[in-house]
Amino acid sequence: MMGRRYGGDAVCYDVVKGEIMDFNLRPAIVIWEVTQACQLACVHCRAEARPGRDAGELSSEEGFALVDQVAGADAPLMVLTGGDPMERPDIAAFVRRGVERGLRVGLSPSATPKVTPQSLRELKAAGLHRLALSLDSHLEHKHDAFRRVPGSFRRTMEIARDVRDIGIPLQIGTTISALNASELEPMAEIVGRLGAVLWSVFFIVPTGRANPALMISAEVCEKALYQLHDIARVAPFAVKTTEAPHYRRVVAERTGRKPASGVNDGKGFVFVSHWGDVFPSGFLPVKAGNVRERPLGDIYRDSPLFKALRDPGRLNGRCGICEFRTFCGGSRARAHAVSGDPLGEDPLCSYVPEAPCVAEAGRSTQSSPPQRPPRPPSATHPPHPEAPTTPPPAVRAE
């Protein structure tokens, strides 16, 4: 989602549709977990996926109705994820229905034998906008250990080749954890060689199977964000982050330009589980409703939880007094996972607000470091005045 700021804390410009988007009224991205089933057993799995499909997941007819609800909510982008969405035989039909309703539809499958050249051709014929694959190390043995299935690295490479040959735009998703935070440069080289149009870098949230020990420190995160910005300026692909909205602050500091209000958990972003439960994101498991009982658009617009998450004046701790809170706001999912407060400060951000304002009545200030930490220097390049402030439309892989 690229944007220009037009006033208000939740307004963004959709360059694809040429429209101003008010995130208070409609989401930019809807993620639908079509199934919990998956043949992998990843160490960080948010969905805590299992081999078999759940009898309670949305049926084909309910799925078509949900796609219609997404279109009715005026969301431009829908991503089908899981589990592994390829476990559902009706997945191409969901893609086709979304395209017919005017949506850009992305898909995030697992690297299994179910992703065949024939299935990819069917998805392309249905109108698939982009396909996202996960790659979590440039070393085969480390990636396979992370996914806990031998051969998953090689299978990912094979699928990426098929996706490229068939002509579907490819996105690579990487989960940054204590296991691979030092691998950004070699990972970027692989992303480039695969011909990806976007590298989506997810900073781990300790939920689902993800152990808190997998989290990196705030200082390591800061260094990684600066390194990603160095990579983004010269790479043949775009770079975006997930659950690290403070990347926008890094870009603003380096370019001197204030980005638009980007998506965040519950703000331009909404997640629907395989049961139809609605959450601000897949990593923030606080239920706001169910699409079997109430339309998705109504839940997104009217839920007290979603409204609070879209209001930067409700944030606590350093996030609540930060000068970047309107377009960053910190990871709401990580705040909840670590402190139990979805409006708390993001523990993976080391930034100390430059001129903290006096906390509003009732707002928690929490303790902050006494002085501003030094900024990591650019590894190879000086700041570029024309560097983009926000990434292009993207499939958000969960």
Question: What pLDDT does 232 receive?
Answer: 96
Helix runs in 39-183, H state only:
60-72, 91-100, 117-126, 140-147, 152-166
Residue 198, beta-bridge partner list: 171, 238
3-state secondary structure of 30: strand
> Residue 108: pLDDT band by 50, 70, 90 thresholds?
very high
pLDDT band at 39, cuts 50/70/90?
confident
Task: Using the structure block, give the residue that is written with the tokens 């089933």.
Answer: 37
User: How far, in Å, CA of 378 to CA of 349, rounded?
Assistant: 18
More confident residue, 50 or 294: 294
- Residue 47: pLDDT band with limits 50, 70, 90: low
In terms of pLDDT, which residue wins out, 13 or 246? 246
Tally Cβ neighbours within 10 Å of residue 43: 17
Of 1-15, 17-31, 217-231, 325-339, the poorest mean pLDDT is in 1-15
What pTM does this model have? 0.85
Whether 372 has a pLDDT exceeding 50, the answer reads: no
Return the CATH architecture of domain 11-303.
Alpha-Beta Barrel (3.20)
Q: Tell me the helix, strand and coil percentages in the chain, rounded to 5.
A: 30, 15, 55
Under 8 Å between Cβ of 350 and 370? no
CB contact set of 251 (below 8 Å; sequence gap of 6+): 229, 257, 259, 387, 388, 389, 390
Helices (H) and strands (E) in the chain, counts: 12, 12
Tens of pLDDT, residues 113-148: 999 999 999 999 999 999 999 999 999 988 888 777
Any bridge partners for residue 21, and if so which?
Answer: 12
Token pair 């690290």 in the structure block, residue: 244
Whole-angstrom Cα distance, residue 261 to residue 251?
A: 13
- Contact of 391 with 198, CB cutoff 8 Å: yes
The lowest-confidence range among 20-29, 153-162, 389-398 is 389-398
With beta carbons less than 8 A apart as the criterion, state whether 337 and 311 touch.
no
Q: Say if residues 388 and 235 touch (Cβ distance below 8 Å).
A: no
Q: Is 46 helix (H, G, I), strand (E, B) or coil?
A: coil
Predicted local distance difference test score (pLDDT) of residue 154: 95
| Closest by CA position to 216, among listed 185, 174, 191, 181 | 181
The answer to whether 90 touches 124, Cβ cutoff 8 Å, is no
Q: Of all helices (H) and strands (E), which one includes residue 332?
A: helix 332-339
- Residues 6+ away with beta carbon under 8 Å from 319: 325, 328, 329, 330, 335, 344, 345, 346, 349
Q: Hey, CA dihedral for 214, 218, 223, 224, is it positive or negative?
A: positive
Q: Are strands 269-272 and 277-279 parallel, antiparallel or unpaired?
A: antiparallel
